[in-house]
Chains A and B, each alone.
Chain A
Amino acid sequence: LAKTTQPISMDSYEGQEVNITCSHNNIATNDYITWYQQFPSQGPRFIIQGYKTKVTNEVASLFIPADRKSSTLSLPRVSLSDTAVYYCLVGDMDSSYKLIFGSGTRLLVRP
């Protein structure tokens, strides 16, 4: 399973764009990249998933370079409610998508 590395914490202000980069140097061909958000005492919530290039949904964008050894989650115009821990995970679709969580990035959005 590919290991991921993310910054431990990030600070931002309301209204700013936040980019969280994750490295996964040994990502395998079958691995997808998924980002989750977790609030205290809650289960993780799916944000976005991608395999390559760029993926965008109503809450975030995911940028994946051609070599797929890293990915960047982009949160446009964050608000205080985006304060949470963000996890980058890679998983093999052919093995029931077993996920191993890294340390995650603790994002603090200030007013």
Chain B
Amino acid sequence: GAVVSQHPSRVICKSGTSVKIECRSLDFQATTMFWYRQFPKQSLMLMATSNEGSKATYEQGVEKDKFLINHASLTLSTLTVTSAHPEDSSFYICSAFSRAGESYEQYFGPGTRLTVT
């Protein structure tokens, strides 16, 4: 099946710094990617929908100025956590939507563990 990668897989940063997470679709083009956040023992929470060549659409309660999303190409979307704080520590997961014929599927990346100290 299709592959989605994330980089880095794990990052530790100091409070107040910014962190960029990359999401790539390796063998297909994705006009739409999604970013999720997951806290321990909880479900995935959709943060935003990233559309290639246009502004991201954020879910209610997600600060767009804090979580900057850029989808500059059909295979790459980036999430930048600006001025990170300990409460931003979480597991961030991206997914890419693929529509091929009658098949519709979201392929998920392996996730990025962010720890803010």
Contacts and interface: CB of A to CB of B under 8 A. Distances in A.
Interface string B44-62: 1110010000000000000
Interface in B94-114: 95, 97, 99, 104-111, 113
Contacts of A91: 104, 106
B20 to A, nearest CB: 18
A101 interface: yes
A49 B106 CA distance: 11
Contact of B107 (A32, A46, A102, A103): A46
Which one of B32, B43, B45, B113 has the highest number of Cβ atoms from chain A below 10 Å of its Cβ?
Answer: B43
Of the listed residues B44, B97, B108, the one surrounded by the most CB atoms of chain A closer than 10 A to its CB is: B44
Contacts of A43: 4, 6, 93, 95, 108-111
Contact of B34 (A45, A49, A99): A99
Contacts of A96: 31-32, 49, 97
Interface in A21-68: 32, 34, 36, 41-46, 49
Interface size range of chain B in the complex: 20 to 34
Chain B interface SS verdict (over half): strand
Contacts of B44: 44, 87, 101
Nearest to B36: A101
Contact of B105 (A41, A42, A46, A98): A46
A32 B104 contact: yes
B40 to A, nearest CB: 9
Given A43-B95, A97-B105, A99-B106, 6 more contacts: A32-B104, A34-B106, A43-B110, A96-B31, A97-B106, A99-B95
30 contacts: A32-B104, A34-B105, A41-B91, A41-B111, A41-B113, A43-B4, A43-B6, A43-B93, A43-B108, A43-B109, A43-B110, A43-B111, A44-B44, A44-B95, A46-B1, A46-B106, A87-B43, A87-B44, A91-B106, A93-B99, A96-B49, A97-B97, A97-B105, A98-B46, A98-B49, A101-B36, A101-B43, A101-B45, A101-B46, A104-B43
Interface of A: 32, 34, 36, 41-46, 49, 87, 91, 93, 96-104
